[in-house]
Chain A
Amino acid sequence: MIRNLWLKLIAPIDGPLMAFSGLLLLVALVAVGSASPERMTAQLVNLGVALAVMRVIAQVPPQRLMHMALPVYFFGVLLLIAVALFGDISKGARRWLNLGFMRVQPSELMKIAMPLMLAWYFQKHEALLRLRDYAVAALLLLIPVALIARQPDLGTAILVFSAGFFVIFFAGLPWKVIIGLGVAAAAAAPFAWNLLHDYQRHRILTLLDPEKDPLGKGFHIIQSTIAIGSGGILGKGWGKGTQAQLEFIPERHTDFIFAVYSEEFGLLGNLLLLILYSLLIGRGLMISANAATLFARLLAGAVTLIFFTYAFVNMGMVSGILPVVGVPLPLISYGGTALVTLFLGIGILMSIHKNRMLVQK
């Protein structure tokens, strides 16, 4: 009886995906336990919520998800516009919408809504895909990205943009166009520079030479690279990272948790982390390759690569090769919102995997 219930509970869950993300969650508990032990309970609660969301979504067939794409997307855009007009300002950015009983960050929703929408769009035009369709897709992509970038929230804008771009890429955007756009982007960079906010420019400049401003903007990067570098090959041991424990690392339980982990577990710990992410992403790409419909393929591929974007941007910025943008380390950083979003993604992947056969048995 209980056994049956259990089997029913785990029925939609994909073993390998669950195993890899489970291992990453173990790493997360170890890292949060060192960076901010008092937040362990809260993070466990967040984790419970996120897993529940995953389990629910894993059961929703992709066809249902497809039906939700359009309303979710437009609802999200609407919320973004509302934020731009009435949003709460916190730390100099207008990101939050106060609904009276709770505050929501609509940009978070777009991380999933965007690939959902674009995958739906390409599925709809599957039969005859023309360049014009890519242009429409690009428009659907850029409107919310622009709204988010304006808030300003460069980190989320990058994530949303990349999620949408992956869909377009997997949909078959010709290589010449991709290369052409790349060249054009490079040429436009100086103009884009002028559009950036001062603090964003400062972050990029700081990345180029953090020592110029060691007590100001460069402090984050200097301290996190010191933490990583001083960790060495084997690390200083759990709870023994001086940079972390003596509070030299800013935001050490959220965006900079990788510095804490890396200081205490060293190069070997980093290698383990990269392998786990690679396995997770590999499994996601496999699911994508075997999915039944174009919608499912595109959605799975894009959702999978969101993990990559998170991981690469975060580790890149903490180790000082990318500018500091507010992107957490996926599945590891403390915080409920990102965790829920990510497990939502994993749930979608599981659902797609369960429904990989066109004709159900």
Chain B
Amino acid sequence: MEFKNPQEELERFRSRIAFAGGFVLFCFGLLFARFVWLQVIQHDYYRTRAEENRISLVPIVPNRGLIVDRNGVVLARNYSAYTLEITPSKVKNLEETIDELAKILDVQPKDRKRFHKLLAESKNFESLPIRTRLSDEEVAVFIAHRYRFPGVDIKARLFRQYPFGAFASHLLGYIGRVTDRDIEKIEEREVEDNYRGTEHFGKTGLEQHYEFDLHGITGFEQVEVDAGGRAVRTLARTAPVPGNNLALTIDARLQEIAEKAFGDRRGALVAIEPATGGILALVSVPNYDPNLFVDGIDTQSWRELNESPDKPMVNRALNGAYPPGSTFKPFMALGALTLGKRRAEQTISDPGFYNFGGHVFRDDKKGGHGSVDMYKSIVHSCDTYYYMLANDMGIDNISSFMGSIGLGQRTGVDIDGESEGVLPSQEWKKKRFKKPEQQKWYAGETISIGIGQGYNAYTPIQLAQATATVANNGVMFRPHLVRHITDTRSGTQTPVEPQPIRTLPWKQEHIDVIKNAMVGVNKEGTGARAFAGAEYVSAGKTGTAQVFSYKGAEHKTEHMQANLRDHALFIAFAPVDQPKIALAVLVENGGFGAQAAAPIARQIFDYYLLGKVPKSAAPADEQAVEADE
């Protein structure tokens, strides 16, 4: 143990002080190096990050394009309204909040149901409407109580509106809130940026098919936001560009007359301008009110629509496949002429039935039509003629001819989800059935194909297109609903050019035979009563399609249940020398085509060709019976 030397101790202490000083400078040097790294070397990166923090792009959803008819009548538009919206993530107890809201505002059970449906479908950071279309008073009431409802707010939103309600709904379609499936479509087209902030998407009809035209270009507002996401001020703004307007080939007045002509019956009608393929009216009744879907349909209304036996949600014009019945006959006849299987003047003798291999196929007229040529076979709708003809032509010839005029194929109309129908052929049967014994085509099956029964099943739009093709002397156009698309910014109209699909190699003399016979139908045949006194020359063909087949047995329609009655059909065009309109009408369970369907066509032609508005929109004359079908 040695005594310490104070001076030595002090020196040692001072060296430690010096060390500490050095250590401090070293550590501060480290910090300085860190600052240089952040503020000089990485400065650009962090400056960008700070800007990204600060500036938020808020999308401004564009106004959706309008849909107008060929004369400018607005069929779908937008209006601004207040909605009361809840952001579920910001609300502690949803039910309690809604109960409290119901005390100051009118909240119906269906509003709650719709809210819960939306809630189940949404990501929970969205705000969802509990009430839409608030009145000014309701807005004022809520604002006075707003402090009590964190996470609930009033928003001004644009709503889609279909001013005529349940009218033309199957062609217009509707929009609804964006779902995952819609997002997939948006991503497929790589337009996610343009859909930021968009809450609605076309679900069916034109709204769906032209979604990306109608939508418009989303604008953006550059907003400075704080850490809580609240906007502090606006830095810049890019205005949205409204969606393009659609001008339709549809004549709204004609559409209205057509829909009213059906009364409360179910059915479909497609009227086409033969020279362009432009659709003048596309009816599927009953309609539904597309307005119901805009802010989310409530479960009860949805169930009612879906469970209704009338199936109002089915677009019968495009998705209903029906046997064409006797409206098939003019096409059969044209096929026979084209293929050389018949000459127009060739006659057959009709005893009132056709015996094929021991099986008897009956004609509707007891005792038969006697001697029948092609003209008479169409005018009086002789079945026996076509039983024989079908057998002579064979299924494959029939199939390929009918295929050439578009039957059993999608027409390519500008509405999505069109059905194909069934064009029977040997090949079709092979694909359709699994068991080998069912896959075989039997010659007997060809016979009923000849009168438009059997496996035949076509959509009304296919029948209308085929009729228009005959009217147009074999030049077939793609049916379409949009006449031109208007760019709302520049005002330029882009017309939808008529799209010829093909020109069929028909001889004009053959076409004239068929047209002449169809004129006969409306003059002296099954359509004569419906077209009595018409001031134009029209061509038509009635049809009655069996819902069930009653093999050869006689049956009386009055005694049958309404939904087992036959479907009534009618195809027609007019005026004959320069056809302006061709159509196909179908009345479900309407009975005879002459009685139920032809009068509808008459009203359409009278209005379209003469401007005559029917006195009443009453259903067609039930008394007019032409038993000859």
Contact = CB atoms under 8 A, between A and B. Distances in A.
Given A227-B50, A229-B46, A267 B228 contact: no
Interface stretch (B25-33, B210-218, B273-281, B544-552): B25-33
B345 interface: no
B11 to A, nearest CB: 10
A225 to B, nearest CB: 6
Interface string A302-332: 0001001000100110011100000000000
Interface size class of A (residues with CB under 8 A): 35 or more
B616 to A, nearest CB: 68
A229 B42 contact: yes
Contacts of A281: 21, 24
A301 interface: yes
Contact of B53 (A127, A248, A312, A319): A248
Given A128-B1, A170-B17, A226-B50, A319 B28 contact: no
Contact of B4 (A127, A274, A312, A321): A127
Contacts of A278: 24-25, 28
Nearest to A249: B227
A267 B21 contact: no
B20 A229 contact: no
Contacts of A319: 31, 34-35, 38
Given A226-B46, A274-B32, A316-B31, A169 B1 contact: no
Interface in B6-44: 9, 12-14, 16-17, 20-21, 24-25, 27-28, 30-32, 34-36, 38-40, 42-43
Interface in A112-136: 126-129
A242 B54 contact: yes
Nearest to A222: B49
B24 A297 contact: no
A216 interface: no
Contacts of A289: 13-14, 17
Interface in A263-279: 266-267, 270-271, 274, 277-278
A243 interface: yes
Interface in B37-66: 38-40, 42-43, 45-47, 49-51, 53-54
Nearest to A169: B16
B53 A246 contact: yes
Q: State the majority secondary structure of interface residues on B.
A: helix
A123 to B, nearest CB: 12
A347 interface: no
Interface stretch (A17-25, A137-145, A230-238): A230-238
Contact of A229 (B3, B9, B39, B224): B39
A247 interface: yes
Given A170-B17, A247-B227, A301-B17, A229 B28 contact: no
Nearest to A229: B46
A189 B51 CA distance: 40
A229 B54 contact: no
B225 interface: yes
B226 interface: yes
Which of A246, A247, A281, A315 neighbours the largest number of chain B CB atoms within 10 Å of its CB? A246
Interface size class of B (residues with CB under 8 A): 35 or more
Nearest to B36: A267
A163 interface: no
Q: State the majority secondary structure of interface residues on A.
A: helix
Nearest to B225: A246
A278 B16 CA distance: 17
A288 B32 CA distance: 26
A247 B366 CA distance: 93
Contacts of B14: 289
Which of A228, A262, A266, A316 neighbours the largest number of chain B CB atoms within 10 Å of its CB? A228
Nearest to A278: B28
Contacts of A225: 38, 46
Interface string B173-195: 00000000000000000000000
Nearest to A234: B39
B6 to A, nearest CB: 9
A312 to B, nearest CB: 5
Contacts of B225: 246
B613 interface: no
B458 to A, nearest CB: 59
B339 to A, nearest CB: 74
A166 interface: yes
A242 B32 contact: no
Given A128-B1, A230-B49, A246-B224, A270 B20 contact: no
Contacts of A233: 39-40, 43
A243 B53 contact: yes
A172 interface: yes
Given A172-B16, A305-B20, A312-B31, A246 B39 contact: no
Which of A226, A233, A243, A274 neighbours the largest number of chain B CB atoms within 10 Å of its CB? A226
A248 B45 contact: no
B232 interface: yes
Given A228-B35, A270-B35, A289-B13, A246 B226 contact: yes
A128 B4 CA distance: 8
Given A281-B24, A312-B27, A270 B32 contact: yes
Given A242-B53, A274-B32, A289-B14, A266 B39 contact: yes
Contacts of A277: 28
B585 to A, nearest CB: 63
A315 B24 CA distance: 13
Given A228-B46, A232-B40, A243-B50, A282 B21 contact: yes
A172 B12 CA distance: 8
Which of B9, B27, B35, B46 neighbours the largest number of chain A CB atoms within 10 Å of its CB? B35
B20 A301 contact: yes
A105 B14 CA distance: 35
Contacts of B53: 223, 226, 242-243, 246, 248
A267 B226 contact: no
A285 interface: yes
A274 B28 CA distance: 7
A154 to B, nearest CB: 19
Contacts of B224: 242, 246
A56 to B, nearest CB: 27
Nearest to A300: B17
15 contacts: A172-B13, A223-B227, A226-B46, A229-B47, A232-B43, A233-B43, A243-B50, A262-B39, A266-B39, A270-B31, A270-B35, A278-B25, A294-B9, A301-B20, A315-B31
Given A243-B50, A301-B16, A301-B20, 10 more contacts: A129-B4, A169-B20, A228-B35, A229-B49, A230-B47, A270-B31, A274-B28, A278-B24, A278-B25, A308-B27
Interface of B: 1, 3-4, 9, 12-14, 16-17, 20-21, 24-25, 27-28, 30-32, 34-36, 38-40, 42-43, 45-47, 49-51, 53-54, 224-228, 232
Interface of A: 126-129, 166, 169-170, 172, 223, 225-233, 242-243, 246-248, 262, 266-267, 270-271, 274, 277-278, 281-282, 285, 288-289, 294, 297, 301, 305, 308, 312, 315-316, 319-321
